[in-house]
Copies of this chain bind each other. A is one copy, B any other.
Amino acid sequence: MISCCSPGLSSEEEKKLQKMAHALGNPVRFEILKFLFTQPGCITGDIVDILPVSQSTTSQHLKVLKDAGWIEGEVAGTAVSYCLNQRDISWFQESMKDLLKD
């Protein structure tokens, strides 16, 4: 890994990092992530219940988080059960560590 004199990320990785950062930088989406940390496997409706926004808005935020890599959704009947995407989250944390270090 390159870390002595330049950020050690490929162009694709940078894009992904930006996308995840952008998704994280919204208070509603941040709240969703916090909730999923304590309530893994909960369904969309559960998340709607604890947020100050509508079902459709929540659904859009979940889509942004999923596309960015923060969460994963599993269809369970008519519902969708969401969990944190541990792989991408760990990658994000590692990449942040590597991004701007001396």
Residues of A participating in the B interface, judged by any CB pair closer than 8 Å: 5-7, 14, 17-27, 30, 33-34, 37-38, 84, 86, 89, 92-93, 96-97, 99-100, 102
Considering the chains assembled together, what is the distance between the CA atoms of A30 and B22 in angstroms? 11
In the assembly, what is the distance between CA of A20 and CA of B86, in Å?
21
Select from chain B the residue with minimum beta-carbon distance to A36. Answer: B100
Distance between A30 CB and nearest chain B CB, rounded to angstroms: 5
How many subunits of this chain does the assembly comprise?
Answer: 2
**CB-defined contacts of A7 to chain B, threshold 8 Å:** 34, 37
* Neighbouring B residues of A25 by C-beta, 8 Å: 18-25
Query: How many angstroms from the CA of A86 to the CA of B102 in the assembled complex?
Result: 9
Task: Give bound CA distance, A26 to B25, whole Å.
Answer: 10
